[in-house]
Chain A
Amino acid sequence: MEFNWTTFLLEIINFLVLVWILKRFLYRPVLNIIARRQQDVEQLLQETTAERQSSEALKVRYENRLADWEQEKEGVRRTLQQEMEAARRRGLDELAGELDDERKKQQVLSERKQQESEHLAEIQALSLGADFTARLLQRLASPELEARLIKVAIDDLDTMSAEQREVVARAWSNGNGAIEVTTAYPLDQARQESLRQALARLIDEEVQCNFRQDPELIGGVRLKIDHSVLHANLQDELKGFVEASRDC
């Protein structure tokens, strides 16, 4: 094995060229690409960390919002419950008030109905009583009774107040100059005269009377001066008694 200077020199050149080539085409690209990859990984890691932090923040915010919503929901539900309770209570109060009013109304109605029925019964009883009395009086009526009634009528005419007298005088002045005298039984001359005189005293002037007979009167007399009627007979008294009770 001989030492060859050419080989020696060429190897030196060869190795230096190799170092240059490997440095240029191997080490530098490999280290660069590793550095770039590492950089990418770090960047990705940073991004991931940032995203994770962002996600954590979002999660916290979401949880806070959920808690707020829950709180708000609870508040709204409580308010709604209170409002519903108030509305229910109000409704119950109104219903109770309406029921009370209705009950009072019903009570008033029933009272009124009772009063009406009582009144009706009273009227019916009065009517029946009047009918019964009328029938009884029809059986008891007689010219003597009528004579007594005419006497009562004459007494009443004489004891009339000043206002009543004025009303009768006004009716007489508006009338046709005759007073219609109706009796149940025929009047004799003396009673007709005493009646005419009593009326003349009432009006304070001479009067003319037209005497009529009406058995419906049962007993007594009815004096008609224009539109005013003075009655002292049993039928009108009974009728007046029934109508007076009907008015009240």
Chain B
Amino acid sequence: MTQQGLDAGLVFSIGPFEITETSVTAWGLLLLLGGLSAAFTFHRSLKPSLFQTAVEGIVTSLEEAISAVAPQCARRLLPFIGSLWIFIVAANLIGLVPGLHSPTRDLSITSALALLVFFSVHWYGIRICGLKAYLRHYLTPNPILLPFHLVSEITRTIALAVRLFGNMMSLEMAALLMLLVAGFLAPVPLLMLHIIEALVQAYIFGMLALVYIAGGIQVQILKQEKTQKEPS
């Protein structure tokens, strides 16, 4: 039972590549989200429908949330952070559909996302601040702190992956255990908790990623603020 419930579940293999159920669900989500986006793009108008209003509300909220942390780079960070939130919310909630499992209960998925966050921190840091300025922030306030910076980079990435994975897996496991112990319909309150947890975890993951990226470009932001203050 545990093996069936918590395992990624192999669907098929192409040589050494094993295509798991998690991958299939994630690609299915990609198709679903892409289809909805395409539907929105083809049916958008200046007089919005209910669907368009909802979509515009979601995107605006995402942008505002990003602006609260990194106001100067909100438009640039929106695709990555917004996609993280949307994907993780969708991936977390899809576990509620009978017969499907959340892709985020798979460590491979969360690790991939965490790795992408790790690289995106450097990517955005270098793009926005420049390589030299970005690398210099590892030596501030004191070069002695460089090892701690490096360890922090690695550990927070691992923590990011494991936190999402652990929470989602534990929720599904708890639901399975409740089902085993208490029987049919008993895990329903737990599933309600699952919804809240799914949203909270998605928010935490995306917000942490945003904070990490904002931390990387902070040097540039401080420099801009200093430049703005000097003329006055």
Contacts and interface: CB of A to CB of B under 8 A. Distances in A.
B200 interface: no
A2 B87 CA distance: 22
A17 B106 contact: no
Interface in B67-118: 75, 78-80, 82-83, 86-87, 103, 106-109, 111-113, 115-116
A154 to B, nearest CB: 148
Given A22-B82, A23-B79, A1 B59 contact: no
B83 A22 contact: yes
Interface stretch (A34-42, A107-115, A197-205): A34-42
A46 to B, nearest CB: 17
A11 B82 contact: no
A21 B19 CA distance: 22
A233 to B, nearest CB: 139
A248 interface: no
Given A11-B112, A15-B83, A4 B8 contact: yes
Contacts, number: 120
B41 interface: yes
B46 interface: yes
Interface stretch (B27-35, B127-135, B191-199): B27-35
Contacts of B55: 26, 30
Interface string A17-31: 111011111110111
A12 interface: yes
B83 A1 contact: no
A173 interface: no
B5 to A, nearest CB: 11
Contacts of B16: 6
Given A11-B113, A25-B41, A36 B46 contact: yes
A2 B165 CA distance: 12
Report the interface size class on chain A.
Answer: 20 to 34
Select the residue from B27, B33, B79 with max chain A CB neighbours within 10 A: B79
A25 B87 CA distance: 15
Nearest to A12: B112
Given A7-B20, A7-B22, A21-B33, A30 B59 contact: yes
Contacts of A19: 79-80, 83
B46 A37 contact: yes
Contact of B37 (A1, A26, A37): A26
B136 interface: no
Contacts of B107: 1, 3
B180 interface: no
A109 to B, nearest CB: 99
B223 interface: no
Contacts of A16: 116
A82 interface: no
Contacts of B46: 33, 36-37, 40
B26 A6 contact: no
Contacts of B83: 15, 18-19, 22-23
Contacts of A210: none
B160 interface: no
Interface string B19-52: 1101100110010011001101100101010000
A14 B38 CA distance: 17
A17 B31 CA distance: 10
Interface of A: 1-12, 14-19, 21-27, 29-31, 33-34, 36-37, 40
29 contacts: A1-B6, A1-B169, A3-B108, A4-B20, A4-B106, A5-B108, A6-B17, A6-B19, A7-B20, A7-B112, A8-B109, A10-B26, A11-B23, A11-B109, A11-B112, A14-B23, A15-B112, A18-B33, A18-B34, A19-B80, A22-B79, A22-B83, A22-B86, A24-B37, A26-B37, A30-B40, A30-B55, A33-B48, A34-B56
Given A4-B18, A40-B46, 10 more contacts: A4-B20, A5-B108, A6-B23, A9-B112, A11-B103, A26-B40, A26-B55, A27-B79, A30-B59, A33-B48
The 3 closest A-B pairs by CB, nearest first: A25-B37, A11-B112, A7-B108
